[in-house]
A = this chain, B = another copy of it.
Amino acid sequence: MDQAGERREPTMRDVAALAGVSIKTVSRVINGLPGAGAEVTDRVRAAARTLGYRPNLTASSLRRADRRSATIGVLFEDLSNPFDAALLRAVEDHARRSGVLVLAGSTEDDHTLQRELLVSLSARRVDGVVVMAAGGHQDALQHERERGTPMVLVDRPPTFGGTDCVTTTNRDSSRAAVLKLAALGHRDIAFLGDRRTLWTSQERYTGYLEGLAQAGLTLREQLVRTDLHGVAVAETATAELFDLDRPPTALFTAQNLVTVGAMRVLRDRDLHRRVAVIGFDDFPLADLLDPAVTVVRQDVPGIGRKAAELILARIDGDTSPPVHAVVPASLVPRGSGEIAALS
């Protein structure tokens, strides 16, 4: 087989030579532009086929007036996380339909990495970026945006202006979840949340507070655990809750890994039939657990589609005012959230 054959890729020049026309005519034929006769078009096509010619999009975009690379960047926290993966897939699908490919990267919620990836994307002259912003300050994102890069934030809004974003009904759905638990008679409802630097965590916590207030319940600070990043930390925190003198009778777990950790502890302590749980974010197999887990499910394909639509529109020159699209989440009752308080 061809090991380093170092065979040069054929160019329009080669095709032109073989077809006996000028380079410009080849360009016209390849791009389907008018100004090439039928017979010449056939000759050029045939020549391109025999040589195995493939257009060079990088050279083309360097020269073209619009400068498009037909490529966007997608920076999410962790592409192996089911939520991120589903979102990537949704964005990718819609982009591809417009002939746009996706350069994907994981930021690990790390500002340095996020900045480096932004620079790498910018060096490749992507047409725009879809970003799940790392928690905390957004200096690098703002800087990139101010350079003129079309940008859409997903999952978390920008802390700076002039930028589109797509989020879900974090606060409202959290409030609804808590109200549902309260309606079942629960008065000691715990909150277990992800890192406090994350906007989503804050919103969900606010929704929790609103729910308590609306239900006429008082907040017990002991029942609030935050900064739970990962399953292991969530397990520890959940265990602590049930070591309290007056443990919770219901849990609102504000992120999918937290939900998983909590479920594990409940099962270990054989509390899974008595303690109600509603989680934010669906996760695979939530319906197969015992009990099946009631969750607030984000419309991930909807979020991805909206993000893709927005970035593609901006790239196409849409200069209408920035949009903050909110895609509704829905409560999926499966059992764990329907356990009533012991009266």
Q: Verify B92–A85 contact, CB threshold 8 A.
A: no
Closest to A150 in B: B4
- Interface positions, chain A 54-89, Cβ under 8 Å from B, are 54-59, 61-62, 69, 71, 78-82, 84-86, 88-89
A106 interface contact, C-beta 8 A:
yes
Contact between chains at A103 and B71 (CB < 8 Å): yes
Q: What is the CA–CA distance of A4 and B317 in the complex, to the nearest angstrom?
A: 7
Contacts A4-B317, A103-B101, A289-B285 known; A123 to B55 CB distance under 8 Å? yes
A32 within 8 A of B: no
Tell whether, in the assembled complex, residue B102 and residue A105 are in contact, meaning their CB atoms are under 8 Å apart.
Answer: yes
With a cutoff of 8 Å between Cβ atoms, the chain B residues found around residue A123 in the complex are 54-57
Most chain B beta-carbon contacts within 10 A, residue among A119, A125, A163, A267: A125
Q: Which residues from 109 to 126 on chain A have a C-beta closer than 8 Å to any C-beta of chain B?
A: 117, 119-125
A288 touches B263 (CB 8 A): yes
Which residues of the partner chain B approach A1 to less than 8 Å between Cβ atoms?
A: 145-146, 161-163, 322
CA gap between A223 and B285 in the complex, in Å: 26
Q: Are B79 and A82 touching (Cβ within 8 A)? A: no
- Pair A125/B319 contact, Cβ less than 8 Å: no
When the two chains form their complex, are residues B62 and A58 in contact, meaning their CB atoms are under 8 A apart? yes
Cβ of A239 within 8 Å of any chain B Cβ, yes or no, is no
List residues of chain B with CB within 8 A of the CB of A61. Answer: 58
Residues of chain A having any CB pair with chain B under 8 Å: 1-5, 7, 52, 54-59, 61-62, 69, 71, 78-82, 84-86, 88-90, 92-93, 96, 99, 101-106, 117, 119-125, 145-148, 161-163, 260, 263-264, 267, 283-285, 288-290, 317, 319, 322
